A and B are shown apart, each in its own frame.
Chain A
């Protein structure tokens, strides 16, 4: 998997979160098993299980004994909420750092954002 994107189990968790956020993995839908994830991503099943278990402890997935893992009701909203709260740290901090390096002021950034936002 991608070496730059953190531990593999985190990447597994993030990919499943992405699928839940964009709706391709519906609430109360069944998540892939650790063996399916391992085969697909060509990773150790224990690593895949670690990614799944993280989502279980976050309350995003829940286990049905003998059946598998399912997406919890409310998981999408919970993930959206967390991602919104992480937005500033993840995107604004590097943006401001780079802007300062190359001499772009905060009002100039604001103007750029408005222009882009109007266009899209």
Chain B
């Protein structure tokens, strides 16, 4: 695996506000990476750094081995589709396609035509008169047809209905399979895309919470349910993310590196379920928040459990 982009100790400060703190990570080449996190976590800032729209306060950003800021060698190989992308007022859909054809060396006009048809975009209408969903669809067409070696989509689905989102995921997968390239996708609709991702980067208040390949994540997150005491015993041996109790029964979401965790839980008589990526992300975000705001003793209702 080679890295298409790296961030090394990157901190991004705006006036009185730190958007990213000491972020070190790599985006692997030819993978689909999901950039996840709550609103204001720093996802867009991270994408702006990768695409040379911003320069980090401290730290080093490398894309295709070089600093991206004002670097045409890098920027010509990038395509960044922003949330609520704006276009010149007079631009019709066809004008945006023409501009993109000139801008992106890898532009595939045939694919663009096909996608315009798929999303039923009116070619001659001004983009500013399109609905929000149609505006998003224009971005998706540009992002996919650009065939850029690194393509970043920042919440590309705003206003898109379920059918159009599914169309996006299907076309993304099909084209990625034929033309492997580096895709970074930020989204809140984690469940919808979790099976598409090869890698997950979760950030929370500007810090990396999780940076792992998606299959590993699935196998390291467990949800156990059973008598409160046994759940507490099990959770104490692993990284507890969330727990809920009712009438002597508890459910806990844990992360574990232990290969025998599944069996250990069964031995305690606990029901074990896989944890959907969305649950894991919610659990980790909540746990991170709890660690910041609450004293250790109040962190969990699993009192009496050895920790």
Contacts and interface: CB of A to CB of B under 8 A. Distances in A.
A103 interface: no
Given A8-B195, A39-B177, A45-B180, 19 more contacts: A1-B195, A3-B218, A3-B275, A4-B273, A4-B274, A6-B274, A35-B174, A38-B173, A39-B173, A39-B174, A42-B169, A42-B195, A42-B196, A43-B195, A44-B214, A46-B31, A46-B198, A47-B214, A47-B215
A38 B197 CA distance: 11
Contacts of A45: 173, 176-177, 180
Contacts of A42: 169-170, 173, 195-196
Interface string A30-44: 000011001101111
B31, B177, B178, B197 interface centre (most CB from chain A within 10 Å): B177
Nearest to A46: B198
Contacts of A3: 218, 273-276
Dominant SS among interface residues on chain B: helix
21 contacts: A3-B218, A3-B274, A3-B276, A4-B274, A5-B274, A7-B218, A8-B215, A8-B218, A9-B215, A34-B177, A35-B174, A35-B178, A39-B170, A39-B177, A42-B170, A44-B196, A44-B197, A45-B176, A45-B180, A46-B198, A47-B195
B270 interface: no
Interface string B214-240: 110011000000000000000000000
Dominant SS among interface residues on chain A: helix
B261 to A, nearest CB: 14
Interface residues of B, number: 22
B76 to A, nearest CB: 26
A9 B213 CA distance: 13
A98 to B, nearest CB: 12
B140 interface: no
Contacts of A35: 174, 177-178
A63 B116 CA distance: 38
